[in-house]
Amino acid sequence: MTVLTSQQLAALNAGNALSLSYSGTLNIQGPAPTAAPAPAPLAVSVKGNKLVDQTGKVIRFKGVNISALEAVPIAGWSPSDPWGGRFSSTTLAALRSWTGLNAVRIPLNEASVLGLTCYDLPIAPATVGVARQADPGNNVISTLKTTVASLTAAGLYVILDLHINSPNAAVPGIAGVVPTTPNCQNQMADADHSITFWTTIANNFKMSPNVVFELFNEPHIDNFVGSTGYIDPAGWKILRDGGTATAFMAGKGPGTNLLNEMVNQNWNSVGTQAMVNAIRATGAKNVILSPGLSYNQYMQGWATYAPVDPLKQLAASWHPYASKTDNTQPGFPTSFADVQAILAAGYPVVPTETGDFTAAGAATWLPILLPWLDANGLGGIAWTWDVWGQNQFNLIVDSNGTPTGGEGVLWKGWCAT
pLDDT reported for residue 267: 97
Same domain, 355 and 223: yes
Same domain, 1 and 128: no
pLDDT reported for residue 121: 81
Kind and range of the H or E element at 141?
helix 140-153
d(CA 246, CA 224): 6
Q: How far is CA 269 from CA 77, 135, 163, 248, in A?
A: 29, 23, 15, 10
pLDDT reported for residue 35: 66
Structurally, the chain folds into a number of domains equal to: 2
Tell me: pLDDT of 281 over 90: yes
Same domain, 259 and 158: yes
d(CA 277, CA 104): 25
pLDDT reported for residue 325: 94
Same domain, 144 and 164: yes
Same domain, 260 and 387: yes
Mean pLDDT, residues 226-241: 90
Tell me: pLDDT of 30 over 80: no
pLDDT reported for residue 360: 85
d(CA 157, CA 56): 15
Are 59 and 350 in contact, with CB atoms under 8 Å apart?
A: no
CB burial of residue 327 (10 Å; 0-12, 13-18, 19+): middle
Tell me: pLDDT of 196 over 60: yes
Tell me: pLDDT of 11 over 50: no
Same domain, 20 and 80: no
pTM (global) more than 0.85 = yes
Same domain, 201 and 350: yes
pLDDT reported for residue 217: 98
Tell me whether strands 260-263 and 267-268 are parallel, antiparallel or unpaired: unpaired
Same domain, 252 and 104: yes
Which range marks the domain in which residue 379 is found? 41-415
Answer whether the bond into residue 25 is a cis peptide, omega within 30°: no
Tell me: pLDDT of 80 over 80: yes
Partners of 351 in the beta sheet?
A: 318
17 or 355, higher pLDDT: 355
Tell me: pLDDT of 32 over 80: no
Share of the chain above pLDDT 90, in %: 77
Which CATH number does the domain housing residue 218 bear? 3.20.20.80
